[in-house]
Amino acid sequence: KIVISRYSNLKIINKRFIETFPNVKSSELKSSDDYIIRLASGQRIDQLAAQYFGAGDLWWVICIVNGFNSPFDNKIQPGILIRIPKSINNILNKIIS
C-alpha cells in the first residue's frame, strides 16, 4: 500500500518552511480577535485548518502565524497554545503585499 503524505506538496525539504516568506514576521500577523486554542493530543495542524478555515490545505497559515518552521516542528506538542486567525483574508493580504 502506497501512502501519500498530506504535506507532499511542501517544496521546502531541508529548509525552514518559514523561510518561504522571509519578509513576514509571525508577530505582525497576530490579531487581538484570533482564536487561541490548546492543542489536544492527536490534533494536527491540517485538522485545525479544516475546522477553522474549511480547508486542511491551509495548514501553512497556522504554521506561519505561530512561527512554526514546518508542520513537523518540534514545538508542536500537545498542550501548547495555538493562535488561529479569525480572518484568513487579512493574513493572506499581509503575506502577499
The confidence score (pLDDT) of residue 82 equals: 95
Chain-centroid distance of CA 16 in Å reads 13
> H helices within 1-97, ranges in order?
45-53, 59-66, 88-96
22-20-46-71 Cα dihedral, nearest 10 degrees: -90
The confidence score (pLDDT) of residue 14 equals: 37
The confidence score (pLDDT) of residue 68 equals: 86
The confidence score (pLDDT) of residue 94 equals: 73
The confidence score (pLDDT) of residue 37 equals: 95
Within 8 A by CB and 6+ apart from 90, the residues are 31
- CA distance to 4, 8, 17, 41, 76, per residue, from 38 (Å): 28, 26, 22, 10, 11
The confidence score (pLDDT) of residue 64 equals: 85
The ranges of the chain with pLDDT < 70 are 1-24, 97
- CA distance to 4, 6, 9, 22, per residue, from 1 (Å): 10, 16, 20, 38
